[in-house]
Structure 1
């Protein structure tokens, strides 16, 4: 059961990352828009709604994960979202690539690996 829970935890993290990417894609309000106009734009954006749905699905699945894993094992996996989101931002959003960001993500992966070994 533990491998299934770990796999589902990774799916939750991936869904959360995809939610971030979807919401970012959906947020392109007109230049100079104030806060109200930005939120009105968000309410009408299908990509923002997709992101919110992905977050919701991830949260519901996460409840199952928490019922099967120790929180000290499950929660560090959330930090892998930084890695997934960095990669998706570079690949799908055209965000700048930086070796310094890669080094930071590498440290995150090493930290999560150390926690997993101790699990």
Structure 2
């Protein structure tokens, strides 16, 4: 895999991970969502007007475009497993920006992912 190809794949992964963090920040601002027949529209409007949610959806759209460019250059059997890098980015981002706890077991799992991604990129 060439560096530019890896760049497209990695940017797509990062944008996808950032989208998740932004969506979570938006839902944190709204609170737990409990849809009923009477509140689905107002809940939808509340969610649709949250800037982090709008930004997260924008990141998703851009990530799809960048991902498609990356996929056009590399086998899906290599690209798709690289999405697991998003777990690492999200764990660090959730800890740093959202104050979520990253336990020792989660850190060990992230280490396993890193080893797997390293082995994959060497194949």
Q: Assess same fold via TM > 0.5.
A: yes
Structure-2 change in CA distance of 1:109 and 1:38 (3 Å)? farther
| Structure-2 residue corresponding to 1:112 | 117
Which runs of at least 4 in structure 1 moved beyond 4 Å after TM superposition?
Answer: none
Give the CA RMSD over aligned residues: 1.6
- TM normalised by structure 1 equals 0.90
Q: What is the rounded CA distance, in whole Å, between the counterparts of 1:49 and 1:10 in structure 2?
A: 22
- TM normalised by structure 2 equals 0.87
Matches within 5 A, 1:1-119: 2-27=2-27, 28-30=29-31, 34-35=34-35, 36=40, 37-118=42-123
Structure 1: segments with no counterpart, 5+ residues: none
Structure-2 change in CA distance of 1:7 and 1:26 (3 Å)? same
Q: How many residues are aligned here? A: 117
